[in-house]
A and B are shown apart, each in its own frame.
Chain A
């Protein structure tokens, strides 16, 4: 009888283990959001015209990325 109950509780234990490995939906959603943001985020300086919400991060990069002003200087400077 004791062994029978032990077997029963052992089955119960394994059932517990099986039940508890569930799919963490909330964590998956959070991870998906992070991955999507990483992939869809326009790399800074590459195409500032199409970036909408990443304007503050793009502004410090654009001056160095656009070498327009140096090309004008050789005209005036001897």
Chain B
């Protein structure tokens, strides 16, 4: 009986020791893995990329901005809460120019969608598109000039 108990405790000791060693190895490997796993994450943390696709979209949006600017200022076009633009008050534009305005807004939104998608893809994380779009939505609104209309909680607000 005594021998059995002794054997038992010896076995337990061995088990614990073995477990401790394995845990130690596991901890070391875990730390190493975490270190290497965070490296690419930090390397990828620079979202400012300029692939040809993103550069083309930016150039297109930049030249369109001159056409959109008077409409932002008049309030005909506003910045939506989801990172796009929308015709807010079509009545401010002469009837003859309304279809051109609609096309302008449509083209701008297509470019914006391409921009969000392109930036996510360029970073190797297409699944970030939604987050990038949300970030942009916030920044467009924050950076909008005084007098422009922005959407907040479903309401148009003049900055």
- Whether B6 sits at the interface, judged by CB under 8 Å, is no
> How far, in Å, is B128 (CB) from chain A's closest CB?
6
Kindly list chain B residues whose C-beta atoms are within 8 Å of the C-beta of A61.
Answer: none
In the complex, how many angstroms separate the beta carbon of B82 from the nearest chain A beta carbon? 14
Which residues from chain B contact A29 at a C-beta distance below 8 Å? 135, 138-139
Question: Chain B: interface secondary structure?
Answer: helix
CB-nearest residue of chain A to B15: A1
Q: For A5, what are the chain B residues with a Cβ–Cβ distance below 8 Å? A: 19, 22-23, 26
A36 to B143, CA, bound (A): 8
Range of interface residues on B (Cβ < 8 Å): 35 or more
Dominant secondary structure at the A interface: helix
Closest Cβ of chain A to B18, distance in Å, is 7
Task: Determine which of B23, B58, B139 lies in contact with A38 in the assembled complex, contact meaning CB atoms within 8 Å.
Answer: B58
Q: How far is the CB of B33 from chain A (nearest CB, A)?
A: 5
Given A1-B18, A27-B45, A36-B140, answer yes or no on A9-B30 (Cβ-Cβ < 8 Å): yes
Chain A interfacial positions (CB closer than 8 Å to B): 1-2, 5-6, 8-9, 12-13, 16-17, 20-43, 46-47, 50, 52
